[in-house]
A and B are shown apart, each in its own frame.
Chain A
């Protein structure tokens, strides 16, 4: 990185921090939640992009991993009294009922536990390839959800958890998001990141270059699960209530949408598209209500928003199959080049 680029990055980070401070004090709860969701989806998108985009493993188990992170973090941060209130059908098991930890260690434990489960699932499942891997991971995610529903004395089953301390704020979510971005950039640009990409490009060639497919696939999968767990933990403590129905396949689909739209294999693309998808999801909410066009009134159809969303995705895949960024990353030089190119064009028109 050149010195100029470092300055520009630091300055833009400062500007962004100022914006966050402004948002923190001026935005209403609704807008704050959307902003938080943008950051959380960035973390989730990046973790999925590491597995699917950079290592080329078609995995659809994200919702399951998020559930583990969300439940672990929530159970560790819930105050003793609230736990007792939640578990009114069957009491919570012994040691867990009295353990209350601060947010950060809970989040970390949630991430580590998810990484461990990710490792346990990945070790056998990653012997599969392509569609078979997708089906296997999808199955494992569903197994995790069913286990959560049935382990009533640990997770409160289908009732879910309520009254989770709303610790996630802009500082936590954006702090973690920025940490994740830096972590991924360092990982992808290291020798290990190159090995991941080699596996994505051609497994047989990668193996004959001395890269252990199994070790690197499991490594990528475990790191991805870790961040999925962290993202889940942030989400649970943002929403305040979680239940198994939240972690169905649609959640995985949302994250998949983000990485496909942003460009599979681009960190910048994922970040941009996490913001676009999250904000668009809210902006397009008016589609679910009845719309009066003056001469005709369209009745409100719930789910219209998702129809429009899916159409958008189809258009992107049809006409822009590499997503917004393809496998490219943002850099200052290119941005300035583009800007000056636009200026030149404008001048020429005059």
Chain B
């Protein structure tokens, strides 16, 4: 089943075309990677899918519903969650609170019911807390749940960001460089972790990553971007042997 489709989305900032005519098909349960040199437009694509930017041209469909013009928080509500390249946790708040906040979007009680703590709100609050604890358990952060989120080591902060995104009940998860800055052992761990949450939470995952080891290991299909243009698309094996990709990454050998 097709979860997400983009039709020729283009993002232009003044004279700069950051992304040009990008087409993506994301099927349920797949893990797809976006790769490309710095400045290729990968994060811009994430920002367009999550409606942080409105594409200059083109349409984005989530389960055949046009989501191009929706507000970012509505897109999250529909079921697209993301993490950020430069970690964006709620720094001064505890690990537990970080995950709790991501449950707020499903709250049905209004502000007065919340202040009066009526039975409906109390029940919702209890369920939110249970769910948050469960998530922290799954990602292995329950021991540090009362710590300030900014005091966690880097790898844990990345995991917390993923846990927080999972708390919004997404169907599609966009991961922006989940393994950035990690050592080989942590990288291996996060690779397994991504596969695990895909299966456990029934997710479809789109990720941006520079660690080729991670990309080749988990993705079923890879899109390669260079200067906003999709230069290749295919299985890890096809990508590894694609001339243009090698050129984009390593440059052309002029002497040859």
Write the residues of chain A forming the contact surface with B, with a CB cutoff of 8 angstroms.
183, 186-187, 190-192, 194-195, 197-198, 201-202, 204-213, 219, 223, 327
Contact = CB atoms under 8 A, between A and B. Distances in A.
A205 B116 CA distance: 28
A201 B92 contact: yes
B105 A211 contact: yes
Nearest to B115: A186
A198 B97 CA distance: 9
Interface size class, chain B: 35 or more
Nearest to B117: A186
A204 B102 CA distance: 13
Contacts of B100: 191, 194
A208 B72 contact: yes
Contact of B97 (A186, A192, A194, A202): A194
B6 interface: no
A210 B77 CA distance: 6
Contacts of A205: 84, 88-90
B59 interface: no
A201 B90 contact: yes
Given A186-B115, A191-B107, A194-B101, A210 B93 contact: no
A174 B248 CA distance: 70
B111 interface: yes
B230 interface: no
B52 interface: yes
Nearest to B121: A190
A211 B104 contact: yes
Contact of B76 (A194, A198, A209, A327): A209
13 contacts: A190-B117, A190-B121, A194-B104, A206-B101, A207-B52, A207-B76, A208-B72, A208-B81, A209-B76, A209-B102, A210-B104, A210-B105, A327-B92
A213 B93 contact: no
A192 B82 contact: no
B101 A198 contact: yes
B168 A209 contact: yes
A195 B90 CA distance: 11
Given A198-B101, A209-B168, A190 B93 contact: no
A198 B111 CA distance: 16
Contacts of A186: 114-117
B195 interface: no
A334 to B, nearest CB: 15
B104 A195 contact: yes
A212 B117 contact: no
B120 interface: no
- Top 6 closest pairs, chain A to chain B, by CB: A210-B105, A210-B76, A201-B90, A205-B88, A190-B114, A198-B101
A66 to B, nearest CB: 23
B71 interface: yes
A183 B116 CA distance: 9
A265 B93 CA distance: 12
A204 B46 CA distance: 13
A118 to B, nearest CB: 15
Contacts of B107: 191
Given A191-B104, A208-B76, 14 more contacts: A186-B114, A190-B111, A195-B104, A202-B88, A204-B52, A209-B104, A209-B168, A210-B77, A210-B104, A211-B73, A211-B101, A212-B71, A213-B73, A327-B92
Contact of A202 (B76, B90, B105): B90
B168 A210 contact: yes
Interface string B222-238: 00000000000000000
Contacts of A197: 90, 92-93, 97, 101
B68 interface: no
Contacts of B91: 201-202
B21 interface: no
Interface in B60-111: 71-73, 76-77, 81-82, 84, 88-93, 97, 100-107, 109, 111
A21 to B, nearest CB: 30
Given A209-B105, A210-B102, A210-B105, A191 B90 contact: no
B125 interface: yes
A157 B171 CA distance: 60
B136 interface: no
B20 interface: no
B164 interface: yes
Given A191-B128, A204-B52, A209 B101 contact: yes
Contacts of B101: 194-195, 197-198, 206, 209, 211
Nearest to A185: B115
Nearest to B125: A191
Among A198, A207, A209, chain B packs the most CB atoms within 10 A around the CB of: A209
A327 B91 CA distance: 13
B73 A219 contact: no
Nearest to A209: B102
Nearest to A183: B115
Contacts of A212: 71, 73
A323 B121 CA distance: 33
Interface string B147-171: 0000000000000000010001000
Nearest to A195: B104
B206 to A, nearest CB: 15
Contacts of A219: 111
Contacts of A201: 89-93
A103 to B, nearest CB: 24
